[in-house]
Structure 1
Amino acid sequence: MKKTLFFIVTVCSFALPAAAMDIKAITAKLTAGNPQFKNKKAWPTLVGDEYFLKEKWEKGRILIWDVKKSLEKGAGKRRSKVDGSDPANWINAATGKAAAALPDMKTDIILPDSDVPYTASLRQRSVRQMFCRHVTIGRNAALAPIYGRGGFQIAGNLWIHPEGSIKTGMWALLFIGEKHTFVRYDWPKDGKLKKIHDERLITPYEKHGDPHKQPWWTNLIATYMRHTKSENASTEVIGFVALADEIAIQSGVFVVGRNSRFVTVGPSAVSVDKA
């Protein structure tokens, strides 16, 4: 009897890994550590006398948030399942591998742009405070830094791009160190806050009103802020900075830049120590 041979072809499906993080492209963008001051389109209001323009920085470690993990474990959720207090969730830009240690005052952190919102949160209550140097928060990225009373301490520049945000909850954001720096929060693209600013409108505080309905509320950088820099070190606001409650300028120089705004949304105390 004639035999017929049958060939069974097995098609194996392999889950191909997502494209590797393009570290070079991320670090080449406008960041707090790579501000590219000569880019006039990015810095249209600079006139040359800003203190931070003269500052020199040593090369430091750069950690980039592993966005892929955030997207795999619930992007857009209020509380991220990916814990930023675990170094393994940060990518060391120098090696392309998971970081071995959390950021310190010689470390820059970058939360890259994303088409899908995500949050990098530090959820371990045992971590009482966080230090870092330059902080960059990209489009659709949110940094929820800390539970602890020590707060989130920044020794370098802070740049929050449009549609990015920082959420410190009830704890403080502290600006520290011996360097001249900037805090830049780019105006939202819808133009509403910029219109309020350009028309020099004052948003009144309503004694029995809902503070969450304040136009600045969705763009707060912190509940409390402390400025404890060395005597001759400065921080300059570029764009706008809004806070929910108390502000303490305890030492150093704090500057609200040209065509910029510094505001608190409630009847808060603003304490400025003697220079």
Structure 2
Amino acid sequence: MTPRDDSDGNDNRWSDLDRPPLNAPALRRALVRGGSLWTEVEVVSNTGSTNSDLVARAVDGKLAEGAVLVAEEQSAGRGRLDRRWTAPARSGLFFSVLLRPDDVPLARWGWLPLLTGVAVATGLARAAGVDTALKWPNDLLVTVGDEERKAGGILAERAGDDGVVIGIGINVTLGAQELPVPQAGSLALAGALTTDRDPLLRAVLRSLEDWYGRWRAAEGDPVASGLQETYAAGCATLGRTVRAELPGDRSIVGEAVAVDGDGRLVLATGDGVQEPVGAGDIVHLRPA
């Protein structure tokens, strides 16, 4: 689907006053500046998938690192393993960014989704005042009542030989009756101090710029950059007994005891064996 720009004067832009459109010019003024990672910020009213659009344009060589594509609505939003992500228009933040970490060894690129999780959690905690946690490898959790619920997800995809597109979806104003599944959540349901998407998006992108800069300065070293320690501190999966469901109807049950230097989740099984599981190897991670 071809993206449609949000500045086309369409009569429905202000049809829901509780969910006003993003202010694209103000976002560009705040984020695209000299020395910034962000080189362009485009907001479209709807598209199929911001990740698919940005990957296609990046492969064509038309985009510099730091391009950001935001959609007010996605008709074919995707999570890991092509799982669908749907939400009402302007009810969340649905965006993708292009990174080209060509000075970081390829073996360390697997940390990018985890880095993004840390950046999103940090940015939202500051801007929305919401306690957030990370479920390995790519989910953002908030607390609704006394229950942890998924309010966001991250999807990283290669874009050519030197690029990675990272897609981020965050439920912001979804009410209980709008949730795709009862176990989902949103910033509003978690008691966010604000659900104004403009400052939330700015906070997340600034946090991502900060963490990405630290990681690149350390040549992708998760210890030297502080990423491994920070991720572990905010990871709700650690310390819990989980079932890792793998391809071929295989599974591993064990206590999640660590995230190793390659970003893999380490499970201590009942046999006394420590089994590392990579994000690319897993179908589901569930409580055991």
Structure with bigger gyration radius: 1
Pairwise TM-score range, normalised by the shorter structure: under 0.3
Query: Larger RCO: Structure 1 or Structure 2 (Cα < 8 Å, ≥ 6 residues apart)?
Result: 2
TM-score by length of 1: 0.27
